[in-house]
Structure formats: structure tokens, C-alpha cells
Structure 1
Amino acid sequence: MTTPAAPKRTTPEKTTPEQSAPERPLPERTAPGRPLPRAFPSTALRTELRRGIAPWTGPAVALTLLVPLWSKAAQWQGSWGGTQTELHAAATLLAGPLVAAAACWQGGREHRRGTVELLLSVPRGRFARVVTAMTPVALWAAAGYLVALAAVFAATAPYTGAGGPSLAIAVTDLGFLLSVAPVGFVVGRLVRWRLAAPVLAAILYVALGAPGYLEADARFLSPAEQFSLEGSVPVWWFAPVLLAWTGGVGVAVLLAYATRRRLLAVVPLVLAVAAGTLIARTGEDLLRDDPATTHRVCSRTGPGTPQICLAASDSRLLPRVSEALEGMFSRLEGVPGAPVRYVAPQYEPKEGEAPLAHVVRGRGITRDRLTDPREYAANTALGLTLRDCPDDGDRRNAEEADRMARTDDAVRSWLADEESPWYPESRRLARLEAMPDADRRAWLGHYLATRKSCVPAEVPAL
């Protein structure tokens, strides 16, 4: 009987750790000095957006704009032109130096930390490093400006009449803030001084504001030139040309510092010079009249009631003006030669028209209301009785001039239904009030027929 053969034992082959480990792809090799083909810059940018001075720049810009604007809300709230005039001044004169100072502080960060030599070993080019470090300040500054822009527009929209905000002004202000960031950053890299940021802000504030005191058209080269946007809008090429001017300077500074081929900075510099030449030659013609806000809008009235005409941008004031002048209109009802239309001061009164009182926002108008309706009526009555006479003492003596002035004052006080501020005990005012209605209307008709005359003998006695 035979027994089965025992199975052969096999010993496992010895394997090295390199053979047992799974195959891994070899790391990509790049030439020295070239960036890795990964999304490393975007990762670094996200990190930079959350640290350092950059996140504080956005709230700082928003507060720098909103605090002074809120303190002067009565001067701009209710007018698109007034709103953007004030916002443009704050964005360029206040926020611009602030952004430059923040970018300057960001640019000097490596010098303060002593990491300049360490960054040279990072496998990224100089231009990528500069853009990654500078961009967060510019983006946060833009975000702060947009927040302030939305806030002031929301505050003024419920009280405005015709017209609307100017996109060109908003774009150029935003472009200026983005353009000043690389300039401040490069100064921070080149100037190793901790006080460079505040000093740069002070210098930039003076440089932006000083050209406004000049009379030459070259003052419009300053991004902080104060435009009067009440009833005016920029020309159609305003935004691209001003962006080429400010943006060209900013890009040229950035390329001259951060790229190896510094001659590339010549291209944006030439573009900036061409745009600046066009701006300086155009001057005040950068703005034109806005027909949407300057045409007259008149109230609808019944027979015998005078019409009130205001600029379209102030059309929401028509009911308030009508209420303020209601007493004056009732006193002139049935008077021969009484004005049939009252027009805003910017319009030349024609035959049968009279000027309204001159008021501005913040002084007489707040949002869509008259701050003092009685004073408005008194000033309108003063415009109806005011004579544009030369000072010719040879043609009339002092007594005749005083009599005419007292008569004008009595009529003005009676129309405004108030005592005379110049002649408190005016006997002429008492005589006018004591007249029968028919006689008073006849006398007032004779008076209004001579309200443009400078000859005292032609003015009826009272």
C-alpha cells in the first residue's frame, strides 16, 4: 500500500517596498522660474482676500463715503445730479487716498516681515506675486464703493423727479479707485518706511484737490474735478476716455515695476497720454445739458388759477409749491395784469410770467418738501415787486425813491400776509388792507402794470 506524496511547499518571493506599493504618478517637473500648472494663484488670492489689511479696506471705503454723505443728506437726497456730485467728490478726494494708503501698506508687508528673500524662492513669477498681493485691496475697495453707491441711490430714489443716475460717473469713480491701488502698492514696495502710507494719502489728497483751483481746462485731468451734475450729463465718450486716462497710468506703473519686459508699460502710458490730451482740450464740454431734467413741467390748474412751472427734476415739488402760494394766488385773484404763470428762476420770465423764489437743496428744499413754505411765498412775492433799477440819483430824489420802496414793500407784505420786516409800522400796508376789495384790485392792477418801471412818478401812490 502506497501513501500519497506530500504537497510541495513553495516559498513566496521576496518583494521590495518599491514593488509592493501601488504605482504613483511622478510629480510634474517644470523649468526653473516657471509657475506650476496648478490653480495656485487662485488659492493664494482667496487666502489674501481673507487676511491682512485687504478685508478692512472695503468697510473703510464704505464708511468714508457714507458718513460725510449722510451728514449732508439734505443737500443731495432727492436729486440724482446732487447725489452723484457729492458721491463723486467723496469717492475721489476721500476714498482715493484711503485706497492708495491701504495698497501702500499692503505693498510694504514683505519688507516689514523680512520675507523678501523667502518669496524669491516661490515658483511664481514676480508679476503673479504682485498681482496676487495687490488685487485683494482693489477688490475690497470696489466692493466698499458699490455698497455706498447702492445705499445713496436707495436713499434718494423715493424723492426724485425726472432723470436718473449717470452710469458713466459711477464707472469712472470705480475705475479710479481700481487704478490708484497699483500705484499705492508699488510705492509701498519701493519705499521702506512705515509712514509711507499716510504720507502718500496726504500727498495724493493735495494733488487731487489742487487743480480744482485752476481756471485752465487742464484741471479736468484731475479725477477729483468737481462736476456740476444738476441738469447736466457727461458726453457719450466720457467713461471710456477717463478710464483710459486713470487706468492707463495705473497699469503702466504696475507693468513697469512687476514685469521683466518693462517696455510693455509704454503701451498703456501712450494710451493714457492720448486720453489726457483729449480731456484737457475738451474741458467744460465734457458735460452737456440733460433735456430729460431741464425741460419745464407745469401744474394743471383751473380757470383763474396761475400755473406753476418747474424743472422736470423738481416736478415732485409742484404740489408743495402750489400749497405755499395758495394764499398769494387768492389775494391776486381778479387783479388785472396779474401773472398767469410762475416759472423757476432758471427760466427767463416772458410776458405774463413771474419768477418763483430761488431755493436750493439743503436751504429751502429737503428731499421733496419746502422747509419753510411761508418764507418761500414771501420771497416769491418779493420777486414780483422787486425792481431792477440802476442807482441813478440824478433822475429822482431820495424822497421819491423812499416812497416807491415803501409802496413796493407794502404790496409784498400784503401778498405774503405778514408784517413788513423793514417798515414794521407801515401806514401804506394799513391803507392797502383797509381798501374795499374792488378798489384794491383796481389799484393793484395799476401797480402791476408799472412793476418794471424805475420812474417813481409812474408808480401809483398809496
Structure 2
Amino acid sequence: MTNPTLYGKARAYTALRAELRRGIAPWTGLAVALTVLVPLWGKASQWQGSWGETQSQLHSASALLAGPLVAAASCWQGGREHRRRTDELLSSAPRSRLTQATMAATPIVLWAAAGYLVALAVAFAATAPYTGAGSPSFSLVATDLGFLLSIGLVGFVVGRLVRWRLIAPVLAVCAYVGLGFPNYLDSEAQFLNPAQQVDLEGAVPVWWYAPVLVAWTGGIAAAVLLAYAAKRRYLAVVPLALSIAAGTVVVHTGADLFRNDPAAARMVCSKAGPGTPQICVNTYDAPVLPQMSEALAGVFSRLEAVPGAPVRYVDSRFGTKDGEAALSHVTRGWGLTRNRLTDPHQYASNTALGLVNRDCPADSHGKSRKEAERVDRTDDAVRSWLAGEDSVWYPDSRHLSRLKAMPDADRKVWLGRFLATRKSCTPSEVPVL
């Protein structure tokens, strides 16, 4: 004699397998993968080489773009029986309403998750060859997956309840607006938004980030599903209470959901040699050290044997001490693309500018505008000479010509005197060129 329970489970498994292979579910997975990858690939130069920036871009695309798409697809799936006029037939089926709803919604959310994971694998494979340190945060992966599953279940219930044929695209638009608007709020409640923009460049989520965020979004989805389909609808109070508790923790914690990444605080330095100062950057930019050294070779050679010349150049984010100078800061997608300096000459020029920049208040030169202009022209002449270029700000400057015309020994002595005053805001202390 056949066991009815086992027979029912076999039928349910067969129905689920059929749903996974047909209808809009497989197309939803493909659409999610493309929706995430296409805009992501258009900004590849900004995130390749940084795990943090890669996941920040992935998070924004999956939540703000793929989220409304999954909601619309699930909503369309939920309204399938209305369109086919099979509502009464469905109600006569032996399976419970909750089982029917879960079986119908599962293919959409599973394919959506699969599409996200494909996009994740492609993005990780694209950025892995260029990373210098750190690792991807799987907490953010779990929260993104949890959100896609949650919004899929909510969209399905909306499709079951609302018989309007245009509800799916309207729901997608509403979801997009609802997910994007909180990003402009100045409140700790913005961290409740699954599409909240996160900056993981130098930061990582706290260890309990994923469980709390998944409880927040998943609790809402479970409550909606139980309230719609469960025989004992009051059970929806349990996941709703869990969601409220998790949301309270998120709001109370706020920006402290993320902590500083230890890898961003560690320095990696090149080897110092005769006439070649050390270059120190954080571990993320370590693969770019050889290029930085090559770009700054001209600056180093011009400062060789100059008294008071920096013995080490440090990433500006670390600050500088005596005997050190700040490196020009480059950001991925602008001055740095796939671990290549986009403009090495500009990088050297900006580093030279940082070396001579006095950072003085506007009124520090006193009433003598003539002396102030002399100092500005002198600083510009030194920067231009170090970078091996003509003056950009004072094309007719005679100061640069004088510096170039000096005998090498005299120029080294004068540069030593100049560097001794590079932090001074008193014009009279700056040597005349």
C-alpha cells in the first residue's frame, strides 16, 4: 500500500522541479545576472582591484536594480492563477494554501539567487587578479541574497492579492523609488534600507551584520507570507517580532555596523636604495608600488643629495612625520585602473605639489602681496622643476628659468634651504630664487 505522505512529497518535488525548468523562473535568473553585470561592467575601472569597492558596487546593483526586478517577476508569478482563471481549481487541491504559495514562489527566488551568484562569481573573478590584500565579505553576500529572497516572497503575495494586470511593473517602480529614497535621509534609520549605499573601501561589517540584516528583511517576508497563506495566521507575529527586534538593533548601531579594516591600516614599503627613498602605501595598493617608484624616479633623481630631502614617501592617508613626504592619493577609476597608473606624469606632478604645498591660511602672507606672489612663484618653480615640466600656473615665470640655470651644486644647496622652509608660512623665511 502506498504511503500517502510519501506520495504527496514526491508529487510536490516533481511539481517544484517542473516549475524550476519552465515559465519565467529561468528567465528571471538570467535577467538578474544581466541586470547586475551590465551596469557593473560599465564601471569596471572603478572597482577592479578592490574587494571593498567591488562589493559596494555589487550591493548597490543587486539591491537597487535586481531587487525591483525580482519583486516584479514574483508578482507576475503570483498573479498567474488570476490570469488563467484557475483560482477555484487551486483552492480544491489537497495541498495547504501555504504549501501551494511556497511551491509557486520558490522557483522565482531560487533562480534570482542563482543569477546573483553568477554575477558575483564573474565580478570576483574579474577583480581577484588585481587585489593586493584583503578578502571579500561574505556577510554582505548573505544579506544581498537574503534581501532578494525576501522581496521575491513579498512580491509574490502582492501578485496573489492584487488582480490588476499592471501591478507587476507598478510594484517594480514603487520598489525602486522606495529603495532609493532612504539613501538621501540623514538618519540612522537609513541603515534599515537593504539598498543602503555602503563604502567598504577600508571598512568591513561587524561579525553579526549578516544575521541581523537577514532577520530584518526575512522576518518581514515570512510575516507577509504567513499572514496571507498560513492556516493559523497569528503565527505571523513571531517573524514580525523578530524583524522588529533586528531592526531596532540596526537603528541603534547605525554607522557602527562597519568597522575599520585592519588591512587598510597596514603599510607596505618598497626597498630603499642609494638615491631612492622608500615608498609606503597600504596593503591594498601594494601591487602598484613598482609603478609608483618608476613614476617618481625623476623626482627622486632631482632631489638626490639635496639636504633635507624626504627619505620616505607615505600614502597621505597615514600622515607624515619628520623626514617624510606625502604621496599623491589616487583613487581607482580615476588615477588608478586595474593596478595601472593612468597618468604617471600627473602622479609625479601631484606628489611634487604635495612636497612644496605649504597649506597656509589666506592671510598668512600679511599685507605684502609682492612677497606672497614671490613665494607662490618660487613654490611653483620648484614643483615644475621636480616634475620635469613647464610651469602650468605661471607660464612666463622667470623663477623656473633661474632654477634650471643654476649649477648643480648651487641648486642642491638652494633646494636644501628651500625644503627647510616648506612648512613655513612666513614669506621672509623662503629663500629668494
TM-score normalised by L of structure 2: 0.98
Query: Which residue, out of 18, 22, 33, partners 1:51?
Result: 22
Query: Which residue, out of 74, 92, 110, partners 2:81?
Result: 110
Q: What is the distance in 2 between the residues matched to 1:126 and 1:110?
A: 13
User: Mean alpha-carbon deviation: is it higher for 352-361 or for 79-88?
Assistant: 352-361
* Alignment partner, residue 58 of structure 2: 87
Give percent identity, aligned residues only: 67
Cα deviation, residue 294, structure 1: 2.5
Aligned pair 1:164/2:130, yes or no?
Answer: no
Q: What is the distance in 2 between the residues matched to 1:188 and 1:294?
A: 49
Q: What is the distance in 2 between the residues matched to 1:74 and 1:165?
A: 18
Aligned-residue RMSD, C-alpha:
1.4
Cα deviation, residue 394, structure 1: 7.4
| Contact residue 106 and residue 134 of structure 1 kept, 8 A | yes
Query: Which residue, out of 39, 43, 48, partners 1:68?
Result: 39
User: Mean alpha-carbon deviation: is it higher for 121-130 or for 335-344?
Assistant: 121-130
Within 5 Å, which residues of 2 pair with 1:29-428?
A: 37-392=8-363, 395-428=366-399
* Alignment partner, residue 440 of structure 1: 411
| Contact residue 41 and residue 128 of structure 1 kept, 8 A | no
The aligned amino acid for 1:105 is: W
SS in 2 for 1:391: coil
SS in 1 for 2:177: helix
Q: What is the distance in 2 between the residues matched to 1:40 and 1:129?
A: 12
| Contact residue 93 and residue 205 of structure 1 kept, 8 A | yes
Cα deviation, residue 425, structure 1: 2.3
The aligned amino acid for 1:186 is: V
- Name whichever structure is richer in helix by fraction: 2
SS in 2 for 1:39: helix
Q: What is the distance in 2 between the residues matched to 1:145 and 1:49?
A: 16
SS in 1 for 2:317: coil
Q: What is the distance in 1 between the residues matched to 2:164 and 2:326?
A: 61
Q: What is the distance in 2 between the residues matched to 1:213 and 1:227?
A: 13
5+ residue gaps, structure 1 = 1-24
Change (3 A) 1:394 1:171: closer
Structure 1 moving runs of 4+ over 6 Å: none
Query: Between Structure 1 and Structure 2, how many residues are aligned?
Result: 433
Cα deviation, residue 296, structure 1: 0.9
| Contact residue 348 and residue 387 of structure 2 kept, 8 A | yes
Q: What is the distance in 2 between the residues matched to 1:401 and 1:226?
A: 44
SS in 1 for 2:153: helix
Q: What is the distance in 2 between the residues matched to 1:213 and 1:188?
A: 29
Q: What is the distance in 2 between the residues matched to 1:393 and 1:130?
A: 73
Change (3 A) 1:369 1:322: same
SS in 1 for 2:318: coil
TM-score normalised by L of structure 1: 0.92
SS in 2 for 1:381: helix
